[in-house]
């Protein structure tokens, strides 16, 4: 396997050893490819779950901010109250959706 002690082998024996190693290497490559694909699929599923959780949390932020505004806002004053009292603006909610490691194209789903 390591190429040691090959001096004693004939050409035919070396060719047979080479074929055996090629077949074995093929099995190793296939096994590695299957494991990589399985890991990719698991990571993609995890990414989908994380994006769903992110969307659920974003909705909670929106609902919470709406609830806070409706409790303390006179009709027509919601924009002024948010700006004056430091409430959540659409920009701050959008920024809250941006986490390191999430692809940039996902952020378009976070827009409010």
Secondary structure of the chain as H, E, C letters: CCCCCCCCCCHHHHHHHHHHHHHHHHHHHHHHHHHHHHHHHHHHHHHHHHHHHHHHHHHHHHHHHHHHHHHHCCCCCHHHHHHHHCCCCHHHHHHHCCCCCCCHHHHHHHCC
pLDDT for residue 3: 76
Provide the whole-model pTM: 0.49
| pLDDT tens profile 15-66 | 999 999 999 999 999 999 999 999 999 999 999 999 999 999 999 999 998 8
Provide, rounded to the nearest whole percent, the portion of the chain with pLDDT above 90.
49
Q: What tokens appear for 62 in the block? A: 């929106």
At 81, the pLDDT band (50, 70, 90 cuts) reads very low
Of 1-5, 44-48, 90-94, highest mean pLDDT:
44-48
| Cα 53 → chain centroid | 12
pLDDT for residue 69: 74
């Amino acid at each position: 396997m390591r190429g040691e002690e090959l001096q004693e082998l004939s050409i035919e024996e070396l060719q047979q050893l080479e074929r055996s190693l090629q077949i074995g290497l093929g099995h190793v490559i296939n096994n590695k490819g299957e494991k990589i694909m399985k890991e990719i699929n698991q990571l993609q599923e995890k990414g989908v779950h994380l994006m769903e959780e992110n969307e659920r949390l974003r909705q909670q932020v929106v609902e919470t901010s709406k609830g806070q505004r409706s409790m303390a806002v006179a009709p027509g004053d919601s924009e002024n109250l948010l700006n004056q009292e430091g409430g959540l603006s659409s920009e701050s909610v959008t920024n809250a959706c941006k986490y390191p490691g999430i692809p940039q194209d996902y952020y378009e789903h976070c827009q409010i």
